[in-house]
Amino acid sequence: MIDIATITAVLGAASAGASATGQAVDVVGKLKNLVGSKDDSEAKALAGELADQLYQVRIANLEVVTQLQDLQRQAEKEDEFKQTRALYAPFKLPQGGKVLKLKQGVDDASEHWELICPICAVNNQKIVPLQGSSDHFDLKCANCNSVFPNVTWDTAEVY
Ligand SMILES: [Zn+2]
């Protein structure tokens, strides 16, 4: 999930860039006032200061771009999860385990897991298939280790 800390970090980097840009503009103003003066030592010092400020701006901009790319990747991942999650509905197994089951009539149903872990979907925004042991009495999530009561010997339908 896109977290506030990431957005705060992007804003911090953008703010640092804006502040460094402002300082660079101030230095340019001072340099302009020195145009035509005989002693260029102050102009040289200011040019050095300007180069430093522009370097800071560049670093801050790179930081902003990197963090925005991270946010974009997170947003794409969340979008993909939401689309996949929408294909599933709550389902009660014969022995009472509550899982998420692929809805009827989903296009490309064979491309998706039949049953997924509801806990991983809710807590971690993850699509994790449920696996049965050899007897399928329980289904297990390999990610969070949750166990869902599935069938007994006399239950006809086995997943
Ligand atoms: Zn799980």
The percentage of residues in the chain with a pLDDT greater than 90, rounded to a whole number, is 60
Domain housing 53: 4-80
- For the segment 3-23, the average pLDDT, to the nearest whole number, is 88
Q: Ligand 1: distance of its center to the CA of 142 in Å?
A: 7
Q: What's the rounded Cα separation, in Å, for the pair 159 and 156?
A: 10
Helices (DSSP H) in the chain: which residue ranges?
4-34, 41-85, 118-124
User: Are residues 23 and 38 both part of a single domain?
Assistant: yes
Residue 156 lies in a domain: no
Same domain, 102 and 68: no
pLDDT at 91: 96
Look up residue 40 and give its two tokens. 């260029």
For residue 23, the CA-to-ligand 1 centroid distance in Å is 52
Q: Are residues 9 and 69 in the same domain?
A: yes
33-89 pLDDT, tens digit per residue, is 888 888 888 888 999 999 999 999 999 999 999 999 999 999 999 999 999 999 999
- Of the two residues 116 and 35, the one the predictor is more confident about is 116
- Spatial distance between the Cα atoms of 17 and 60, rounded to a whole number of angstroms: 5
Alpha-carbon span 24 to 58, nearest angstrom: 12
Q: Is residue 157 part of a domain?
A: no
